[in-house]
Amino acid sequence: MKKSIALGALLVVLGTSVFAATPKTGGDKKAEELSFVQLNKDNGFGVRVDKEEAGKSFIMIYDADHNLIYKDMVSKEATAEKGYVITSLEAGDYTVEAFSKGQSVTKHMHVYEDGVSKSYFFYQ
């Protein structure tokens, strides 16, 4: 019971602080933005792309041994959002990387069994 309460408190603290991504940009161009958002209806996360010019944006998910397990193109447009449901992932640690021209954002994710379903949180 104490572990459940402690884990719940940790998730609340981490969940409120990890969804804002700090972009890495080069030059004097307006900063392109890649951000992680929580899905409202499904158990998963979304990647939001908001940039000046159209161009390909990708997301890659690696397992704990840094083996690529999923790669997807988020969009070819300048603005888009795409969701990813985590229910098919095994419990464990993952690295999620979002790439767009001139920027990349990396998050570490932990997937765990939450009773009859799976949950996740991002951590640094």
Per the document, the length of the chain is: 124
Q: Are 105 and 97 in contact (CB under 8 A)?
A: yes
User: CATH: 2.60.40.3080, 2.40.50.220, 3.20.20.70, 2.60.40.3500. Which one for 2-123?
Assistant: 2.60.40.3080
DSSP per residue, 24-89: ---TTSPPPEEEEEE-SSSSEEEEEEE-SS---EEEEEE-TT--EEEEEEEESSSEEEEEEE-TTS
- pLDDT score for 32: 54
- pLDDT score for 94: 97
Q: What is the dihedral of CA 73, 67, 21, 112, to 10 degrees?
A: 110
- pLDDT score for 21: 44
Residues 87-105 pLDDT 10s: 999 999 999 999 888 788 9
Domain ranges of the chain: 2-123
**Which tokens go with 74?**
């988020």
| CB atoms closer than 10 angstroms to residue 32 | 20
CA distances, 54 to each of 14, 78, 101, 106, 114 (Å): 32, 4, 9, 21, 39
- How many Cα neighbours within 13 Å face the side chain of 11? 13
Residues 12-42 pLDDT 10s: 433 433 444 444 444 444 455 888 988 888 8
| Vertex 105 angle, CA 103 and 108, to 5° | 165
Tell me the average pLDDT of the chain.
78
**Which tokens go with 75?**
């969009």
